[in-house]
């Protein structure tokens, strides 16, 4: 038995994969743990290899009762909204027989984090090799700021940021975001944008009222839930500016995603 193994990590994808080789599960929002069961005892390790056995006595006790001599269980420690009285401390995350797109919609409607897809033909491998995929209800990516719509009723006078994504070597308009600002973040953002004002928009944003256009040099971190059918962000929220040292990359549009 190895002292520890690096976990298999799920690769983030914007939409569920197609094909019968993919099995789907709920993506649990908890703390990743590995439970090592050996004749010498039970150890519960964090993703980074720290021994947290003492912090999860119920899981450790349940692991000792399992009818196995040696095993390594990879799982997520979660707390349910309602007490699961009498439920076992270790439960199998069941495969759900459903179309990936339908399951994702249901998961999001119930306030879950998303879903996991696992390749039935793969084996468990450490690292992020693509055998497991994660599709989140709330996604986060970087988008270029190409302007803003003015508003006297909003922080910093910013009614809505105008955003763009990469499409090949060009930028394309992907809609706007008008939430997520506070007084300080909006004031800082407005100060930086006002240094980049240009007379004409860098890309076609459609007809906009009270719009100020800027050179697309600032990259905003945006959380969003989905894409509309015409390629615009849905339920977007501003989280801050990406710094160069944080890899201020602009999201590349997936043509199949926009078409779907």
Render pLDDT for 36-90 as a digit per residue (tens, 0 to 9).
Answer: 999 999 999 998 889 999 999 999 999 999 999 999 999 999 987 766 855 689 9
Task: Report the residue count for the chain.
Answer: 260
Domain membership of residue 3 (yes or no) is no
β-pair partners for 172 = 165
- Considering the domain architecture, whether residues 18 and 119 belong to the same structural domain is answered as yes
β-pair partners for 148 = 161, 212
Residue reference for tokens 């004002």: 197
- Considering the domain architecture, whether residues 209 and 117 belong to the same structural domain is answered as no
Domain containing residue 20: CATH number: 3.30.1490.70
- 84, 111, 137 — which closes off a domain? 137
- What pLDDT, in 10s, does the model give residues 31-43? 899 999 999 999 9
Q: What does the pLDDT read at residue 65?
A: 95
Q: Is 111 left (phi over 0), alpha (psi -120 to 50) or beta?
A: left
- Considering the domain architecture, whether residues 149 and 196 belong to the same structural domain is answered as yes
Domain membership of residue 2 (yes or no) is no
Domain containing residue 217: CATH number: 2.40.50.140
- Considering the domain architecture, whether residues 132 and 222 belong to the same structural domain is answered as no
- Considering the domain architecture, whether residues 64 and 151 belong to the same structural domain is answered as no
Residue reference for tokens 């006297």: 152
Residue 23 sits at φ, ψ, to 5 deg, of -105, 140
Q: Does pTM top 0.85 for this prediction?
A: no
- What pLDDT, in 10s, does the model give residues 211-238? 999 999 999 999 988 888 889 998 899 9
Q: List, in order, residues 6 or more apart from 187 with CB less than 8 Å away.
A: 155, 156
**Three-state DSSP state, 166:** strand
Residue reference for tokens 């050996």: 38
- Considering the domain architecture, whether residues 197 and 177 belong to the same structural domain is answered as yes
Quote the number of domains for the chain. Answer: 3
CA-atom Rg of the chain in angstroms: 23
- Considering the domain architecture, whether residues 162 and 199 belong to the same structural domain is answered as yes
Domain membership of residue 1 (yes or no) is no
- What pLDDT, in 10s, does the model give residues 158-191? 999 999 999 988 999 999 999 998 888 899 999 9
Domain containing residue 34: CATH number: 3.30.470.30
Is the confidence at residue 138, as pLDDT, over 90? no
46 to 40, 66, 80, 128: CA distances (angstroms): 19, 20, 20, 17
- Considering the domain architecture, whether residues 195 and 101 belong to the same structural domain is answered as no
The percentage of the chain sitting over the pLDDT mark of 90, rounded to a whole number, equals: 65
- Considering the domain architecture, whether residues 36 and 106 belong to the same structural domain is answered as no
Domain membership of residue 63 (yes or no) is yes
Sign of CA dihedral 69, 75, 77, 81: negative
Q: What does the pLDDT read at residue 83?
A: 61
Q: What does the pLDDT read at residue 258?
A: 42
Strand 139-150 and strand 219-224: the pairing is antiparallel
- Considering the domain architecture, whether residues 144 and 232 belong to the same structural domain is answered as yes
d(CA 191, CA 98): 49
Domain membership of residue 130 (yes or no) is yes
Question: Helices (DSSP H) in the chain: which residue ranges?
Answer: 57-65, 100-109, 183-193, 255-259
- Considering the domain architecture, whether residues 70 and 145 belong to the same structural domain is answered as no
Q: What does the pLDDT read at residue 1?
A: 85
- Considering the domain architecture, whether residues 117 and 65 belong to the same structural domain is answered as no
- What pLDDT, in 10s, does the model give residues 88-121? 899 999 999 999 999 999 998 888 889 999 999 9
Range of the domain at 100: 8-28+94-137
């Amino acid at each position: 038995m190895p002292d520890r193994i690096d976990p298999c990590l799920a690769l983030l994808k914007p939409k569920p994969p197609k094909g019968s080789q993919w099995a789907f599960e709920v993506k649990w929002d908890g703390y990743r743990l590995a439970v090592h069961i050996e004749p010498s005892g039970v150890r519960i390790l964090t993703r980074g290899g720290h021994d947290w056995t003492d912090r999860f006595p119920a899981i450790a006790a349940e692991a000792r009762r399992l009818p196995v001599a040696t095993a390594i269980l990879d799982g997520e420690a979660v707390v349910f909204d309602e007490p699961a009285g009498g439920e076992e401390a270790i439960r199998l995350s069941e495969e759900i027989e459903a179309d990936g797109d339908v399951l994702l919609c249901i998961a999001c409607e119930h306030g879950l984090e998303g879903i996991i897809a696992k390749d039935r033909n793969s084996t468990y491998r450490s690292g992020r090799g693509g055998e497991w995929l994660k599709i989140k209800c709330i996604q986060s990516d970087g988008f270029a700021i190409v302007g803003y719509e003015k508003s006297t009723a909003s922080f910093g006078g910013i009614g809505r940021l105008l955003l763009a994504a990469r499409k090949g070597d060009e930028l394309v308009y992907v809609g706007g975001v008008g939430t997520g600002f506070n007084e300080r973040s909006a004031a800082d953002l407005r100060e930086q944008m006002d240094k980049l004002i240009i007379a004409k928009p860098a890309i076609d944003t459609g007809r906009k009222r009270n719009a100020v256009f800027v050179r697309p040099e600032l990259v905003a971190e945006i959380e969003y839930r989905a894409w509309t059918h015409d390629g615009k962000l849905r339920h977007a929220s501003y989280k801050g500016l990406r710094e160069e040292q944080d890899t201020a990359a602009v999201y590349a549009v997936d043509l199949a995603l926009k078409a779907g």
